[in-house]
Amino acid sequence: MMASTSGQNDTSADGTVSSRARHKSAEDKPRPFIDRPSSYLANLEAAYKAHGPNWLEAAYKPVHVPWEPTWWFFYGKQAEPRFVKSVLGLGSGEEIILRPAYVRGYAIFQVGSSEVLVSVPADTNVAGQAYFIKREEDEKRLENLDPNLYRKGSCLVCFPEWKVGDKGVPAPSAYFLAYARDDAKLKAQISDSAGAAR
């Protein structure tokens, strides 16, 4: 009688089970579940004990960045010294130093009786004045000037005494009073003007 091929019968002619069959039988048995403590759950429990129900807010609490003095750019009627002094609450006898400056890629639009600065795709410059804010309370005054019309915007301010293409002097970042509402309609005026000029 011919011996059976491997995989069909692992029992030898004398009826004993081969070592290969015993190994396969061990693999087929379900492995016991090992109850290991979860480090993830342990961290959640520790966070809850430390911060209570608001543990998630505490975990993602933003890092406080200390305030630093910075440049502000004023344009149009805002560039007048009396406007800056009035907003900052300075007396008529107090002097401020405004530095001639300009920003690229912006345009001034008239909104009612006020002027707003809006970024535009055209490579245009808007001239104005830059003032270095040294006190946090002064910046708060500017931020709260007219929340319905203005918001705090950021830009790069340039100074006329710089040479064009001067790589040694980077343009410092600055803030300005940006338009707080949707400026799409204002930007559409540029497209309409460009289309009418063709």
Residue 183 in any domain: the answer is yes
Which residues lie across from 74 on neighbouring strands? 129
The boundaries of the domain holding residue 187 are 70-197
Residue 170 in any domain: the answer is yes
> Residue range 88-103: average pLDDT?
87
Give the CATH number for residue 103.
3.10.490.10
Residue 5 in any domain: the answer is no
Number of domains in the chain: 1
Comparing 35-39, 68-72, 117-121, 175-179, which segment has the lowest mean pLDDT? 35-39
pLDDT category of residue 195 using cuts at 50, 70 and 90: very low
d(CA 76, CA 114): 10
Residue 15 in any domain: the answer is no
Q: How far is CA 125 from CA 6, 57, 157, 166, in A?
A: 86, 44, 10, 17
